[in-house]
Amino acid sequence: GNSVTQMEGPVTLSEEAFLTINCTYTATGYPSLFWYVQYPGEGLQLLLKATKADDKGSNKGFEATYRKETTSFHLEKGSVQVSDSAVYFCALSEGAAGNKLTFGGGTRVLVKP
Amino acid sequence: GAGVSQSPRYKVAKRGQDVALRCDPISGHVSLFWYQQALGQGPEFLTYFQNEAQLDKSGLPSDRFFAERPEGSVSTLKIQRTQQEDSAVYLCASSLGTVATYEQYFGPGTRLTVT
């Protein structure tokens, strides 16, 4: 079956530091890949997505590139802010059953001023 | 416009009680999903509706879990004879279409605690 593995947190870093959260996946087909974010006290929100190999998703300074050869979709941001403190979830969908999502376990990121 | 809403936001149930969790999706959204999120983990798929049809219930953990969406809008997730392992946040999501290009919008969740 499908699965998503992402680095465990918490990740603690200082403002303006570089952030990378690793994500790898296992899928039987050709999935679409997503990063969702959950800010404190809020619901899950889509951060970015990529639907085919070599696509780069980007939003709010975050980027992730769909790497089929390494089955990876690592999230990066060049200069984090305190407001980026949140839990980040990598997810995939193979389009079956209306596009149900398979999530990783989440990575908590804490940015200190 | 309004997003996905869920009620109640918090529910405490004694073991053995039945509970019903409600989801109001975004108006016009065809697809509706339920997910279960245990503490410190990622959400796990429970079931999927396309309009009123329940097309996938492969994630429901036992026959104590039942979901419906009779008119293709509001959905209810019912858990019978609750047990402690049912304690989790139950998330509802809806999307306009049925393929990956359509974003899933999540509600705030219902936190269920079984004592």
Q: What is the DSSP letter of B25?
A: P
Q: What is the DSSP letter of B109?
A: -
Across the interface, whether the CB atoms of A97 and B48 are under 8 A apart is answered yes
| Beta bridge partner(s), residue B56 | B48
Q: Is A43 on the interface with B (CB under 8 A)?
A: yes
Across the interface, whether the CB atoms of B42 and A104 are under 8 A apart is answered yes
pLDDT digits (tens, 9 = 90+) for B14-55: 999 999 999 999 999 999 999 999 999 999 999 999 999 999
pLDDT for the residue B98: 81
What pLDDT band is residue B1 in, cutting at 50, 70 and 90? low
| Beta bridge partner(s), residue B66 | B78
pLDDT for the residue A97: 57
pLDDT for the residue B102: 83
Q: Is A32 on the interface with B (CB under 8 A)?
A: yes
- Over residues B55-68, mean pLDDT: 95
pLDDT digits (tens, 9 = 90+) for A78-105: 999 999 999 999 999 986 656 899 999 9
B-chain CB neighbours of A106 within 8 Å are 40-42
DSSP B93-108: EEESSSSTTSPPEE--
- Over residues B95-100, mean pLDDT: 83
CA-nearest residue to B102 within chain A is A99
Q: Which residues of chain A have pLDDT under 50?
A: none
| Beta bridge partner(s), residue A108 | A87
Q: What is the DSSP letter of B85?
A: G
| Of A89, A95, A100, Cβ closest to residue B48 | A100
Pairwise CA distance, residues A6 & A36, whole Å: 13
Tally of residues, chain B: 115
Residue that has been written with the tokens 């941001």 in this structure: A77
pLDDT for the residue A41: 84
Extended strands (E) in chain B: 5-7, 10-13, 19-24, 31-37, 44-50, 53-56, 65-68, 75-79, 88-95, 105-106, 110-114
